[in-house]
Structure 1
Amino acid sequence: MRIALYRKWRPQNFDEVVGQEPIVKTLKNQIKAGHISHAYLFSGTRGTGKTSTARIFAKAINCLNPIDGNPCNECEICSGINKGTLLDFIEIDAASNNRVENARDLIDTVSIPPSKAKYKVYIIDEVHMLSTHAFNALLKTLEEPPEYAVFILATTDPQKVPVTILSRCQRFNFKRIKKDEIKERLKLIVNEIGVEIEENVLDLIASNSDGALRDALSLLDQLVSTVSGKIDYESVISILGLTSKENIFKLVDLIIEKDIQNSLKLVDKIILEGKDINNFIEEIIAHLRNLLMVKVSKNPSEIIDASIDYIKELKNQAGRISSEEIMRGINIFIEAENDAKTFMQPRIALEMAVIKFCRIEYDTSLEVILNRLNRLEEAIKSGNVNINVNLREEHKKETKQILKVEEAAKQEAKEEAALTVDVTLDEARIAWQDVLNYLKVNKRMSLASLLNLGDVTSVKNGEITITFEGKYAFSKKKIEEGDNKKFIIEAFSKVLRKPVRIRLEVKEEKNDIEEAIKKTKEIFGEDIVEVVE
């Protein structure tokens, strides 16, 4: 069976570890000085060498023939660890062994001294996946370990590891590996395995590995297995579903020119080529970020991990767009990236983002409003805006009269519209509580309290009738004072989203005898029933 490249080219000594020089130097010094701690915590993102470094460290502290802090990889101990046959070297995955029972089984073996090696080494990968009870079981052993036991905990999420565990470990943070370092390692490997590959392909693989050498080796392995002959840039773009650098530059050029038609055509072409939409949006965001860095930085090559030619192209494009516009674009496409993950058709999110970026009038974000205000302020400061504040008194009076007439006409139109509005009794009753809440929110608590004593009894031709019992007649009287009735009409119209009118009435009081006589007449008829006093 063929061995994957990331396994075949796994570092076997400290000198082969890529991009973690400070950590390697510290560990080698500890080994040479004999100052070995009982517990270490290796944290960092995936593929940065945590487990590989732990295995090298385990070999180095037990090696029978160490060479300047490095393991010899030839002695019985080193060979046993490389083959996985040494009983004094235990490596477990906490993700699949996270129960307290697994932790107790491991702790039981700690009391047994090593059979061949000097130190008994325990590597617990993804240690943050252990349960709370498992951590508690492990804690006692970390507090008082045997002198021959060494624990190396590896994790991608150190925040989930309890503080009581962290405080008992020497902690080493593995950083993301630089693009140039990944590229050099890939170049060494392709030369060794005899694969012909273009230089810009190595740049592309290194850029898409996100600082993880293992991811870069997996991508290279995929390409070696798929492409026969020389691996060229276009083949990689097609296989990995990426968008070419030229297309990204072209799309941003079209957006800068406000050319919606051709921008959408280019998006359509890229999608039809089978490119992943989410990856495409991520690449646009990364490109805009690089443009922004070029705009704000005096030496962008220190911030942007890219070739001199690429940075030169960025500078040319950045000269045609403002920093505010770039930041607006980044926000637009970040929003599109989130929308694309939830939309049934992510393409729509991408196309909306392109349209928004091309036409600022379609963008109602806060940044756009601030940008418009800034331009208005600049125009006022430069004197390009003339504001006439010396209006004549006569003109003011005329304006007020016109406003009054317009207001009266609007009110009359509302009343006429209410006559034709179709509002049912059920709709009015359902809206009742919302109307009361509307009045309360608008600081009309007393009016809401008075209105709450009544009830909606009928609706006809857009007129809602609110009836009060006789004992609450004072409520009707108070509501009819001032603008109270106007506020109630406004509340109902807002809640129902229809123009309505309001009619207030007091229910007539009838005694029980009169009510009984009325019901009897209704049942038997007025000719048959005779009332005798």
Structure 2
Amino acid sequence: MAYTAIYRKWRPQTFDDVYGQPAVVRTLRHQIMNHRIAHAYLFCGSRGTGKTSTAKIMARAVNCLSPVDGNPCGRCDVCTKLSDESNMDIIEIDAASNNGVDEIRDLREKVKYPPTIGRYKIYIIDEVHMLSTGAFNALLKTLEEPPEHVIFILATTEPHRLPATILSRCQRYDFRRISEQDMVERMRVILTATGAHAEDEALQLIARSAQGAMRDALSMLDQALSFCDGNIGYTDVLDMLGASGTDFVAGLVDAVIAGDDGGALSLIDQAVDQGRDLTALVREIAWYVRDLMIVKSCRQPETMIWASQHQMDVYKAQADKLDERKLIAYMDILSVTDNQLRFAAQPRITVEMMAIKLCHLREESSMDAIVARMDMLEGKLDGLMKGTDTVGAEKQSAQTKPSQKTKPVPKELKAADKPPAQPASVQTEAKADGLNEVMRAWPAVLQAVKKEKMTVYTFLCNGKPAALEGEQLTLVFPEGGGIFAAAVEKDENRQLVEKAISDVTGEELRVKCITGQAAAHEPAKDVDIVEKAKELFGEDKVEVIDDET
């Protein structure tokens, strides 16, 4: 006897055998039990989710002489005859190859004849979206008012391509993708019945590769049984599918996190030497990054990721080294690479360039870092326009930590030790140094506030340090930003900001919020603004233009 593929041999024979579609199965069973059978059904869903199998079960159940809880009994004379593929009461039509008006006209003529075995004649039209416009129009009247003995079951993977006039005449049932757990459970049942064995990791890999299609999973299981001779191992499935495996991808992600482009390229070279499919590798990395995002974002990732405890520990360790924005950036690069590989003449080069991009993804790409850099640049420009030597102050304090306090001028300083002509200038420079130190530490202050309360962080991002008078730090918010200033000055929020400043800088400062321009400062010492601009931006970037007007 010729060999029968597993997905055909183990096709569901009752609704109890249909995995992953509880809502559809429950509704159809109740209709059969209560004799409320419609004249037209539309089964929608992706490939391998059980549309045709459910249609065949439905066809036998509505004709069964003694259904059991809505299931065909499989023992009566009608069930026995309808199980024969040559019966004349269950007609399967492939709309992809019978999509013309003539075929539908022929169908309209045949529906007039009564069934030969049971009570109903069932027409199952698969891939119905492939019918032509003329064929749909020819089917409309028959679909709306068929003979009492006829039931239409339409199946499609693309319901959006069906005319609204067809959709309105059918009861629609959406078949969802089958979960990995359901597919593994079904494969376990089949392996137990056939006397074969498989590792849990091997079945999980097959289920994930099937992407929600039970038929694909059973086809891969059939192939694995032949490949492994009845004892399916994880590494054997990796070789069969051309996949790289979770451990390999984990090592590649470790190299990316460390910025080790050499290590990442070495692993890609290893995958190429082993004959791995590079497109499959990119998709494995994308799935891995997706798992990291779930671990990073969810309190109970175990409910969404099916992994061993060891692998979950690896996920958590890697997720702790990354933030959400970087993971999103990783996913963007992987998605672009996946699309590029479809048309790439040199897939290896494309994947290698992807690895380098991932390794050198800069932290400055995050919004917080960009805002911090803009604030720093604004502080330098303000100091430049006011004559404050912020560049020199930054160079002088580059080797000191932001938390170090600026030493005030001692009260006991003798008059002879003070600059004889510019006592006010010395005081101004000391204040400027203190303000510069706060501004340099401001990104860290923002991050400390963000960890405590996101709303206060959002308000605070709209302001910036403008003046430091003694122990009072003045924050300036833009015109129209009074609502942000008022929110920050609320006692609870202001105390949170002051605590963050104290933790980062070591200074006990009081915060005051104003809108518009900061209060006028004392005149600063004269500086050569051209020289400061060259020092800040580079001599080649500065051009001096005389304005004689």
TM-score, scaled relative to structure 1: 0.71
The corresponding residue for 1:113 is: 114
Contact 1:333 1:350 (8 Å CA) reproduced:
no
The corresponding residue for 1:288 is: 289
Counting aligned pairs with the same residue, the percent is 43
Give the whole-Å Cα distance in 1 for the aligned partners of 2:326 and 2:541. Answer: 42
Contact 1:301 1:308 (8 Å CA) reproduced:
no
Give the whole-Å Cα distance in 1 for the aligned partners of 2:91 and 2:319. Answer: 54
The corresponding residue for 2:439 is: 383
SS for the counterpart of 2:68 is: coil
The corresponding residue for 1:429 is: none
Give the whole-Å Cα distance in 1 for the aligned partners of 2:542 and 2:440. Answer: 38
The 5 Å alignment of 1:193-232 reads 193-232=194-233
The corresponding residue for 1:127 is: 128
Give per-residue Cα distances to partners, 1:217-257, cap 9 Å, x unaligned.
00000111222252211111011101111001011011111
The corresponding residue for 1:395 is: 528
The 5 Å alignment of 1:129-528 reads 129-360=130-361, 368=365, 370=367, 372-376=369-373, 383-384=439-440, 395-396=528-529
SS for the counterpart of 2:91 is: strand
Q: Residue 132 and residue 305 in structure 1: after superposition, are their counterparts in 2 closer, same or farther (change >3 A)?
A: farther
Contact 2:337 2:351 (8 Å CA) reproduced:
yes
Q: Residue 29 and residue 291 in structure 1: after superposition, are their counterparts in 2 closer, same or farther (change >3 A)?
A: same
Q: How far does residue 408 in structure 1 lie from its aligned partner after superposition?
A: 13
Q: Which amino acid aligns with 1:54?
A: A
Give per-residue Cα distances to partners, 1:43-96, cap 9 Å, x unaligned.
011111110000000000001232221112233322333221221211111111
SS for the counterpart of 2:272 is: helix
Q: Residue 116 and residue 382 in structure 1: after superposition, are their counterparts in 2 closer, same or farther (change >3 A)?
A: farther
Q: How far does residue 336 in structure 1 lie from its aligned partner after superposition?
A: 1.1
Q: Residue 263 and residue 391 in structure 1: after superposition, are their counterparts in 2 closer, same or farther (change >3 A)?
A: farther
Give per-residue Cα distances to partners, 1:314-342, cap 9 Å, x unaligned.
11211112222111111111111111111
Contact 1:14 1:24 (8 Å CA) reproduced:
yes
Report how many residues are paired: 406
Contact 2:63 2:78 (8 Å CA) reproduced:
yes
Contact 1:241 1:274 (8 Å CA) reproduced:
yes
Q: Which amino acid aligns with 1:327?
A: I
- Segments of structure 1 that go 5 or more residues without pairing to the other structure are 412-533
The corresponding residue for 2:406 is: none
Give per-residue Cα distances to partners, 1:260-318, cap 9 Å, x unaligned.
11111011101211110111001101111110111111121233244444333211211
SS for the counterpart of 2:186 is: helix
Give the whole-Å Cα distance in 1 for the aligned partners of 2:87 and 2:22. Answer: 28
Give the whole-Å Cα distance in 1 for the aligned partners of 2:534 and 2:276. Answer: 64
Contact 2:89 2:116 (8 Å CA) reproduced:
yes
Contact 2:196 2:231 (8 Å CA) reproduced:
yes
Give the whole-Å Cα distance in 1 for the aligned partners of 2:87 and 2:532. Answer: 96
- Segments of structure 2 that go 5 or more residues without pairing to the other structure are 380-436, 443-464, 467-520
Q: How far does residue 176 in structure 1 lie from its aligned partner after superposition?
A: 0.9
Contact 2:534 2:542 (8 Å CA) reproduced:
no
The 5 Å alignment of 1:99-110 reads 99-110=100-111
Q: Which amino acid aligns with 1:269?
A: Q
Give the whole-Å Cα distance in 1 for the aligned partners of 2:73 and 2:527. Answer: 101
SS for the counterpart of 2:197 is: coil
SS for the counterpart of 2:37 is: coil
TM-score, scaled relative to structure 2: 0.69
Contact 1:197 1:231 (8 Å CA) reproduced:
yes
Give the whole-Å Cα distance in 2 for the aligned partners of 1:207 and 1:398. Answer: 63
The corresponding residue for 1:449 is: none
Give the whole-Å Cα distance in 2 for the aligned partners of 1:201 and 1:53. Answer: 28
Contact 2:225 2:231 (8 Å CA) reproduced:
no
Deviates more, 1:190-199 or 1:303-312: 303-312
The corresponding residue for 1:520 is: none
SS for the counterpart of 1:383 is: helix
Q: Residue 374 and residue 409 in structure 1: after superposition, are their counterparts in 2 closer, same or farther (change >3 A)?
A: closer
Give per-residue Cα distances to partners, 1:400-424, cap 9 Å, x unaligned.
9999x9999999xxxxxxxxxxxxx
SS for the counterpart of 1:10 is: coil
Contact 1:77 1:86 (8 Å CA) reproduced:
no
Q: Residue 134 and residue 382 in structure 1: after superposition, are their counterparts in 2 closer, same or farther (change >3 A)?
A: farther
Contact 2:243 2:281 (8 Å CA) reproduced:
yes
The corresponding residue for 1:5 is: 6
